Amino acid sequence: MRLWFLCAVALGSLGSCHRDDDGDGTDGTGLLQIDEKTQKARKSAPGAVIFYNLFIKTKKDIPRVRKIVHEQLNLVDHPLDKEIRINSIGALKDLSRLKLSKQLAERTKLIAHYDQGFEELTLHDLWSFCKHNGTDPEQLVVYLHSKGSFHKWKGQAATDRYYLTSGALSKECMHMPKTCNVCSSRMTPVPHPHTPGNMWAARCGYIAKLIDPKKFREKMDSDFLGRHNGAPWCVGRGRFSDEHWVNSHPETAPCDLDTNQSFVSGHPMTRTFEKELKKAPRFPIATYHVSWGECPGKGESLTARLAEYRYLYSQEPPKEWWGWRSFLQESK
Ligand SMILES: *[C@@H]1O[C@H](CO)[C@@H](O)[C@H](O)[C@H]1NC(C)=O
Ligand SMILES: *[C@@H]1O[C@H](CO)[C@@H](O)[C@H](O)[C@H]1NC(C)=O
């Protein structure tokens, strides 16, 4: 019998059985588990740790956003095997107001409340968790946010949110092969490698190599990239740096799911889609040209992409890198 399960049932509280190395409530690299053979307690990491950036502008938005949270977290398969860590930004200070099911509530904790803030707060906590000495490099983390929480419940934002969340939490991403280290509904390589909508699953070993999300935007905004590369959305600068971050390292090995090539940027047409995990980018480069918009030709230059890797990480991509597959052109 697994100790953590008993703890959760007997005490109705995740925290009570949790190892909390830093004592700040933001750590907990694993849960205690009794090995039946040796009767020794050992750490066993949960299947995935989900970091959720929750934004609720005003108190009167709480009932509406609660439905959004329920819809997203109900997509968590096997919640007993997961941990959900929430940063709440804005009106909600107490997770009990989310009225989660007992099972989800047991697996969920508040990292912190902020009056205001942006996605990099939660990306930073996810990154810190992965950097923590002792976190298994194979450990899966998922990044979600309450997309569209300031819009009405139905409509395009709801389609986007379901499309993105159901990919990041899919069984395909939860069981991604070793050849992938980031997994999402869609990964788009131009005008800069990014995950449109920014929800994904990833391995800690890869995440730990990335620049601190709190410093990434500044790094992308520096003269080195800004001078010759054009508008922020063409480069992954400014607020577009959050979508670029998880794909910014030369060792990124993205996989994506959506078999239909109609969505590569902007908004997906449908909530649900046929999922088949493949190495990304999965289509020929011409398929992604639509995502160029006002950035024609941007991101197709091998020289520029390698220069950015050197600037950010002082590193060349490994031979498995997606960009070597005749994707980027020397001459562009
Ligand atoms: C990480 O943990 C290992 C094993 O506990 C220890 O030997 C090592 O010194 C630690 N490294 C850091 C940077 O704390
Ligand atoms: C791909 O998606 C588009 C837009 O939703 C749809 O019109 C088309 O039929 C889909 N193609 C396939 C092969 O399912």
Could you give the C-alpha distances from 121 to 53, 127, 128, 286, in angstroms and in order?
8, 10, 11, 35
pLDDT(35) > 50: no
- In the chain, the amino acid numbered 224 is F
CA of 161 to the centre of ligand 1 (A): 39
Q: How confident is the model at residue 42 (pLDDT cuts 50, 70, 90)?
A: very low
CA of 259 to the centre of ligand 1 (A): 43
The pLDDT tens digits for 130-184 are 999 789 999 999 999 998 776 665 788 999 999 999 999 999 999 999 999 999 9
Look at residue 27 in the predicted model and tell me its pLDDT. 36
The pLDDT tens digits for 204-259 are 999 999 999 999 999 999 877 765 667 888 899 988 999 999 999 999 999 999 99
Instruction: Give the separation between CA 305 and CA 299, rounded to whole angstroms.
Output: 7
Look at residue 292 in the predicted model and tell me its pLDDT. 61
The pLDDT tens digits for 64-78 are 999 999 999 999 999
Q: Tell me the DSSP string of 282-328.
A: -S-GGGGGGGGTT-TTTT-BHHHHHHHHHHHHS-PPPTT-GGGTTTS
Task: Kindly report which listed range (30-44, 103-117, 188-202, 226-240) carries the lowest average pLDDT score.
Answer: 30-44
Ligand 2 within 6 A of 315 CB? no
The pLDDT tens digits for 82-95 are 999 999 999 999 99
Which residue has the CA at smallest separation from atom 1 of ligand 2? 260
The percent of residues in the chain predicted with pLDDT above 70, rounded, is 82
| Tally of residues, the chain | 332
More confident call, 99 vs 2 = 99
The percent of residues in the chain predicted with pLDDT above 90, rounded, is 68
Domains identified in the chain and CATH numbers: 4-35 (no CATH), 49-326 (3.90.550)
Which residue has the CA at smallest separation from atom 3 of ligand 2? 262
CA of 131 to the centre of ligand 1 (A): 12
Ligand 2 within 6 A of 222 CB? no
CA of 163 to the centre of ligand 2 (A): 14
More confident call, 319 vs 14 = 319
Ligand 2 within 6 A of 270 CB? yes
Residue 212 CA, chain-centre distance (Å), reads 14
Atom of ligand 2 nearest to the CA of 270: 5
Ligand closest to CA 43? 1
From 163, 258, 260, the mutation candidate for ligand 2 (largest count of ligand atoms within 8 A of CB) is: 260
Look at residue 3 in the predicted model and tell me its pLDDT. 36
Report yes or no: 155 and 236 within 8 Å, Cβ to Cβ. no
Instruction: Please name which of 305, 302, 306, 264 lies closest in space to residue 283, comparing C-alpha atoms.
Output: 264
Partnered with residue 69 across adjacent β-strands are none
Look at residue 297 in the predicted model and tell me its pLDDT. 81
Ligand closest to CA 133? 1
CA of 183 to the centre of ligand 1 (A): 29
Ligand closest to CA 21? 1
Atom of ligand 1 nearest to the CA of 133: 1
- Which pTM value belongs to this model? 0.84
From 19, 42, 128, 133, the mutation candidate for ligand 1 (largest count of ligand atoms within 8 A of CB) is: 133
Could you give the C-alpha distances from 208 to 11, 14, 227, 242, in angstroms and in order?
33, 25, 29, 16
Query: Pocket around ligand 1: residues whose beta carbon is below 6 Å from it?
Result: 133-134
What is the edge-to-edge ordering of all strands in the sheet holding 48-56?
108-114, 82-90, 48-56, 140-145, 200-203, 182-184, 254-258, 275-279
What tokens does 193 get? 């490698």
Ligand 2 within 6 A of 262 CB? yes
Could you give the C-alpha distances from 286 to 135, 193, 297, in angstroms and in order?
40, 15, 11
What tokens does 42 get? 């050992």
Look at residue 225 in the predicted model and tell me its pLDDT. 72
pLDDT(43) > 90: no
Partnered with residue 188 across adjacent β-strands are 194
Place of tokens 């391995």: 203
Average predicted confidence (pLDDT) for the chain? 85
Instruction: Give the separation between CA 148 and CA 64, rounded to whole angstroms.
Output: 11
Q: How confident is the model at residue 197 (pLDDT cuts 50, 70, 90)?
A: very high
The pLDDT tens digits for 113-136 are 999 999 999 999 999 999 997 899
The pLDDT tens digits for 256-268 are 999 999 999 889 9
Look at residue 226 in the predicted model and tell me its pLDDT. 61
Phi, psi of 8 (to 5 degrees): -60, -40
Look at residue 330 in the predicted model and tell me its pLDDT. 74
Average pLDDT on 104-117 reads 96
